Chain A
Amino acid sequence: MDETVAEYIRRTVLKIPRDEIKMMLQKWGFLSEAQLQTLNFHQLKDNISQEVVQLCEENSADIKQAAVLDIIYNHIYQNKRMWSVYHMRKTGEELEYFDLTDFRKKFKRRLQSALKNVTVTFQEYEDNAIWIRVAWGTPHRQPNQYKPSYVVYHPQTPYVFVSASVLKSNLPLLCQALIVASNYHDIREMELRGHSLNSLKDIVFNRYSHNFQTYCPKPQQASTVEPESADLRIINENRGEKERIQRLNQEGFGDGPQPILQFAQYKLETMFKSRPEMDVLDKKEPFRCLVKFSSPHLLESLKSLVPAGMADAPLSPLLTCIPQKARNYFRIRDKKGLPPESFVSP
């Protein structure tokens, strides 16, 4: 077995948390159940990985098999990576039958003809997702297995999710290979990025709950305003206002669970307008700002600003449009010829 392969397997196993190693090796299926029985999972991880490498040596593992183990790890820990979303377009409306073998062949061939040295690995999953791992080399250098790119493609959709490695120069080639293999003619990056792959899918596949007012499975009562006190003499004098605010807030984001995003970024190129009582800046040039919101669960966080009293209800459409527009990067300019309160996002 090649030394570089051995080292790669060793390092991949080291990344795995100790109590998940057995499960992942089983999923991998490269080592037999009998071989797995010989492993002692209660020793130092360093030693576990050495033993795994020895077993792989017995089975003469090559880089192709090692790459599969890497995909399995990244599939389980997909949220550790940052994913970008790409959208592909076709000229005609023909619904072509998707041939996986054909796709794989064309994809691999496109990359190999350009770079000669690439490691391309495919793995299919139950939710119709095809995972592709690409380790990049050059005509003169072996692929760097430690900085691969991952692509997730659902064949019946025009969307591709990419977690590129640091080697961004390979992105154009990757995009080309994707459209060639999938018979699309165009691909562009969307302004949508995040760690939660499933949430990104929810957004582009429209799988989250929208703010539909007509369909409402829950009864129309305000559910989170505090219950009346036991003493009837005590009333919540703002109850009406609180209910109104909650209703408006729900209209913004909808009732159900929100897709998980980690940030939203707005490049503001709008005019600075002073308040009437302040005789300040009324310039002709835009007031250039960059605003970035971050949170472990951004949309839920923004939604909670209104009841917390930190934002007006309804929340700004610049924020509530994030899932509908399937983007979290925006460039905001004033709409020409319209009152300054309206913004346009190109």
Chain B
Amino acid sequence: QGSEDPQRTALLLRKAWTLYSVTPLYRFGRGRLRDYARLLGAFIAAERQKGLAVEVGVELDIKVALSSLPELRGSEQDQPAVLVQLSSRSRASPKNSEDKILWSGCFCCVCGDDLSENMPEDFTCLPLFLANGAECYMSVVGNWFQQTFDCVFRRLAISPFNLSWMVAMWTGCKVDKAASAVELVFSVPCLPQPLDISYAIHPEDAKALWDIIQKTPGEITQEEVDVFMDCLYSHFHRHFKIRLSATKLVKVSTAIASAHCDGIVKMLHSQYLSGVLMLLTELAISQIQ
């Protein structure tokens, strides 16, 4: 078991991550991370010569680092996560200057047995990819991995159905200190004038409602999620006569994490980090299969 290194996993917290699903990587060698970093670095430099992967204001050399995050996995069957970081390094850097991280990406797999079970040996399963930073870097890094390991990256959207699961699940999580509100954001874009509705519930009251609905601790059923959402919708309808179920749920936010339907997630609580990643791994796997 890798030792819990809170510093390393902490870098996943409080950042907005764009989600992708990744098909298994062919002939990915975990011992070759240094080589890959070098090759990716060269690829990026070549692309930048062509005028691609250029971010306004960044003139300097880009350094690539690949590392393993063994603590980021659900079970022994899971592949340890792989972190990719792009940083800028000045050509004539003063001794005390720090590299500035331009972009981060993380391949991970938390309880991905559904996918890795019958996978041939040459393939490495890391179905969930998290990206943070300018899109131009994602593009070039994604291209390199796709070319090198014959895999496919796809943006992972989150449906209102899955967002409902997330908000119900995360509302039930116990948090010690004063938590932030449970917020649901709805969008009604097709009106002559678009409308956004933010519905934020005091976390204690939301949790109290969920606790009454959930029958077995540690287990959540579809029916329980439906009842929870129904309760929130009918309380809203009682006041405003508006049917939230006819609108589009686009974002949910709790003290544990927040998730947007475009596939953007922010994880806020270290204790529940792997729980959230497990859920996202499941979504990624459904998209691949």
- Which residues of chain A have a CB within 8 Å of any CB of chain B? 266, 268, 270, 272-275, 278, 280-281, 283, 285, 287-298, 300-302, 304-305, 308-312, 314-316, 318-319, 332, 341, 343
Do B197 and A291 touch (CB < 8 A)? yes
- Report which of B191, B213, B236 forms a contact with A280, defined as CB distance below 8 A: B213
Q: Is the CB of A315 within 8 A of B241?
A: yes
User: Contact: A289 with B199, CB < 8 Å?
Assistant: yes
Pair B191/A283 contact, Cβ less than 8 Å: no
Q: A286's closest neighbor in chain B, by CB? A: B205
Contact B200 A289 (CB under 8 A): yes
In whole angstroms, how far apart are the Cα atoms of A341 and B237 in the complex? 11
B195 and A294 form a contact (CB under 8 A): yes
Bitwise, B183-198 to A at CB < 8 A (1) or not (0) is: 0000010111111111
B219-252 contacts to A, CB under 8 A, are 227, 230-231, 234-236, 238-243, 246-247
- B residues 169-214 with Cβ under 8 Å of A? 181, 188, 190-202, 205, 208-209, 212-213
Residues of chain B lying within 8 A (CB to CB) of residue A314? 241
**Docked-complex contact A287 and B205, CB < 8 angstroms:** yes
User: Nearest chain B CB to A272's CB is how many angstroms away?
Assistant: 6
Sample of 10 further A-B pairs with CB below 8 A, known A288-B205, A310-B188, A311-B242: A272-B205, A280-B213, A280-B227, A285-B205, A289-B201, A301-B193, A304-B193, A305-B191, A312-B241, A319-B240
Q: What's the nearest-Cβ distance from chain A to residue B159, in Å?
A: 19
**Contact at A294–B198, with CB atoms within 8 Å?**
yes
Contacts of B192 in A (CB 8 A): 300-301, 304
Best-surrounded residue of A289, A290, A315 (most CB of chain B within 10 A): A289
Interchain nearest-CB distance for B120 vs A (Å): 50
Give 24 pairs: A residue, B residue, CB < 8 Å, sorted on A. A268-B239, A272-B231, A273-B235, A280-B209, A280-B212, A280-B231, A281-B231, A287-B235, A289-B201, A289-B205, A290-B198, A291-B236, A294-B198, A295-B195, A296-B194, A297-B193, A301-B191, A301-B192, A301-B193, A310-B188, A311-B240, A311-B242, A312-B241, A318-B239
How far in angstroms is the closest Cβ of chain A from B186? 10
Interface residues on B, range: 20 to 34
Chain B's interface: helix, strand, loop or mixed, by majority? Answer: mixed
Closest residue on chain B to residue A282 by CB atoms: B212
Instruction: Note all chain B residues with C-beta closer than 8 A to A319.
Output: 240
In whole angstroms, what is the CA distance A343 to B201 when docked?
19
By a CB distance below 8 angstroms, the chain A residues around B200 are 289-292
CB-based nearest A residue for B237: A312
Residue numbers in A under 8 Å from B243 (CB-CB): 310-312
Q: How far is the CA of A304 from the CA of B241 in the complex (A)?
A: 13
> Do B201 and A288 have beta carbons less than 8 Å apart?
yes
B239 partner residues in chain A, CB cutoff 8 A: 266, 268, 270, 291, 316, 318, 332, 343
Of the candidates A266, A283, A295, which one forms a contact with B193 in the assembled complex, judged by CB atoms under 8 Å apart?
A295
Closest residue of chain A to B235 (Cβ to Cβ) is A272
- Give the chain A neighbours of B227 by CB distance below 8 A: 278, 280
Q: Report how far A153 CA is from B174 CA in the complex, Å.
A: 52
Query: Could you tell me the distance between the alpha carbons of A239 and B242 in the complex, rounded to whole angstroms?
Result: 22
Which A-chain residue is minimally distant from B230 (CB atoms)?
Answer: A278
Contacts of A275 in B (CB 8 A): 234
Contacts of A294 in B (CB 8 A): 195-198
Q: Is the CB of A288 within 8 A of B202?
A: yes
Q: How far is the CB of A242 from chain B (nearest CB, A)?
A: 17
Closest-by-CB residue of B relative to A311 is B242
Query: Which residues, 239 to 278 on B, are CB-close (under 8 Å) to A?
Result: 239-243, 246-247
**Alpha-carbon separation in the docked complex, A343 to B194 (Å):** 27
Does B190 lie within 8 Å of A308, measured CB to CB? yes
In the complex, what residues of A have CB within 8 A of residue B191's CB?
301, 304-305, 308
A278-B227, A278-B231 as given contacts; A291 in contact with B198, CB under 8 Å = yes
B209 touches A272 (CB 8 A): yes
Cβ contact within 8 Å between A305 and B238: no
B189 to chain A, nearest CB (A): 11
CB of B194 within 8 A of CB of A301, answer yes
The 5 closest A-B pairs by CB, nearest first: A288-B202, A301-B193, A301-B195, A297-B193, A292-B198
Given A287, A296, A300, A318, which contacts B240 in the complex, CB threshold below 8 Å?
Answer: A318
B residues less than 8 Å from A318 (CB atoms): 239-240
Complex contact A281–B209 (CB within 8 A):
yes
Smallest Cβ-Cβ distance to A289: which chain B residue: B201
**Chain A, Cβ-Cβ closest to B183:** A290
- Residue of B whose beta carbon sits closest to that of A308: B191
Assess whether B242 is in contact with A305, with CB atoms less than 8 Å apart: yes
List the A side residues contacting B241 at CB < 8 Å.
311-312, 314-316
Give, as a whole number of angstroms, the nearest-CB distance from A82 to chain B: 17
Please name all residues of chain B whose beta carbon is closer than 8 Å to the beta carbon of A300 when the two chains form the complex. 192-193
A292 and B197 contact, Cβ closer than 8 Å, known pairs A310-B246, A315-B241, A318-B239: yes
Cα(A309)–Cα(B190), bound, Å: 12
CB distance from A291 to the nearest CB of B (A): 5
Say whether A293 contacts B201, CB under 8 Å: no
- Asked whether, in the complex, the Cβ of A290 is within 8 Å of the Cβ of B181, the reply is yes
Specify the chain B residue showing the minimal Cβ separation from A293: B197
How far apart sit A253 and B236, CA to CA, in the bound complex (Å)? 20
